[in-house]
């Protein structure tokens, strides 16, 4: 491809389509599926894919543009290490799903239901240096006694209203996963683009359009994956839990496979690593 003779529209269309295809890479789909398997709203699921694409775009543009403009050479071991980070990320996502499964199992074994738990938020008013103020805090059980009852103003909050950090931050987690995936793929993408488009300016523009295509593609993919997830999970709670567990196991297994391939087959930890950007 010669940029000087190529129509800008053709270059933009090619970058957009290849970016959308890039979003379908197995490691991308598995990572996002593991995150959105817990979601029950289609809009949030689609947003997760778009946020993943934004994180991916940030690292691809920064690292990729630096490689294209300044002709930076990525050492073989560093390139493999960036791809190895994706394997670690997939393993951690799988472990996170397994931890949720174990937590639910522990609640059932103890005979307690997470929906029946409640927290009590109240404040202890007292005086310091003539000024009255209160320290709001939380207790799992109500204080007993009339005196305590008179001093406390309780507001019971269901445990479901105070989810874990991971559950409250699916978008942040998706963005972080996108950053790692973008870091791993930035060198390979930039080198392939530069080999096809020698001009740094055109190559950078193409890279930016490619990233836009990735964002659009991941948004569409997450919507397509989330739709059957949500339809099926509404039938029964155990189906939803099975999907969450299954996606976590898939992420964990694929992460182990990538770690083995990169670390052992590609000799990341040996004296002669092999890295072929693709």
88 to 24, 218, 249, 260, 271: CA distances (angstroms):
20, 21, 14, 11, 21
pTM strictly above 0.75? no
Q: For 14-70, what is each residue's pLDDT tens digit?
A: 888 888 888 888 888 888 888 877 777 778 888 888 999 999 999 999 988 888 888
- Over pLDDT 90: what percentage of the chain? 24
Summarize pLDDT for 85-99 with one digit per residue, the tens.
999 999 999 888 777
Residue 276 is predicted with a pLDDT of 78
DSSP for 57-99, written as a single string: HHHHHHHHHHHHHH-PPPPHHHHHHHHHHHHHHHHHHHHHHHH
Contact 189, 210 (CB under 8 A): yes
Q: CA-based angle 113:118:120, to the nearest 5?
A: 160
Q: CA–CA separation, 243 vs 189, rounded Å?
A: 32
Residue with tokens 């239901």, as numbered in its chain: 113
81 versus 33: which is more confidently predicted?
Answer: 81
According to DSSP H, which parts of the chain are helical? 8-22, 26-36, 42-70, 76-109, 146-151, 165-168, 170-196, 200-233, 237-260
HSE, CB side, 13 Å, CA atoms: give it for residue 107: 13
Tens digit of each residue's pLDDT (9 = 90 or more) over 204-222: 888 999 999 999 999 998 8
């Amino acid at each position: 491809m010669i940029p000087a003779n190529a129509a800008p529209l053709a270059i933009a269309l090619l970058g957009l389509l290849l970016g959308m295809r890039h979003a379908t890479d197995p490691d991308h789909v598995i990572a996002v599926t593991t995150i959105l398997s817990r979601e029950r709203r289609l809009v949030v699921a689609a947003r997760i894919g778009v946020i993943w694409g934004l994180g991916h775009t940030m690292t691809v543009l920064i690292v990729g543009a630096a490689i294209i403009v300044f002709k930076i050479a990525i050492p073989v071991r560093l390139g493999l290490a960036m791809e190895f980070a994706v394997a670690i990320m997939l393993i951690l996502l799988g472990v996170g799903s397994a931890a949720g499964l174990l937590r639910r199992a522990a609640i059932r074994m103890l005979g307690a239901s997470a929906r029946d738990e409640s927290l009590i938020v109240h404040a202890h008013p007292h005086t310091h240096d003539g000024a009255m103020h209160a320290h709001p805090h939380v207790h799992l059980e109500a204080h007993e006694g009339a005196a305590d009852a008179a001093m406390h103003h309780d507001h019971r909050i269901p445990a479901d209203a105070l989810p874990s950090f991971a559950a409250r931050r699916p978008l942040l987690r998706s963005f972080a996963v996108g950053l790692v995936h973008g870091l791993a793929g930035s060198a390979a993408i930039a080198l392939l683009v530069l080999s096809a488009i020698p001009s740094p300016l055109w190559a950078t523009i193409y890279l930016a359009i490619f990233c836009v295509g990735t964002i659009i593609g991941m948004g569409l993919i997450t919507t397509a994956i989330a739709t059957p997830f949500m339809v099926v999970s509404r039938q029964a709670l155990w189906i939803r839990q099975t999907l969450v567990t299954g996606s976590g196991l898939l992420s964990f297994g694929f992460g182990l496979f990538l770690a083995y391939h990169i670390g052992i087959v590609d000799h990341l930890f040996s004296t002669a690593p092999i890295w072929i950007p693709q």
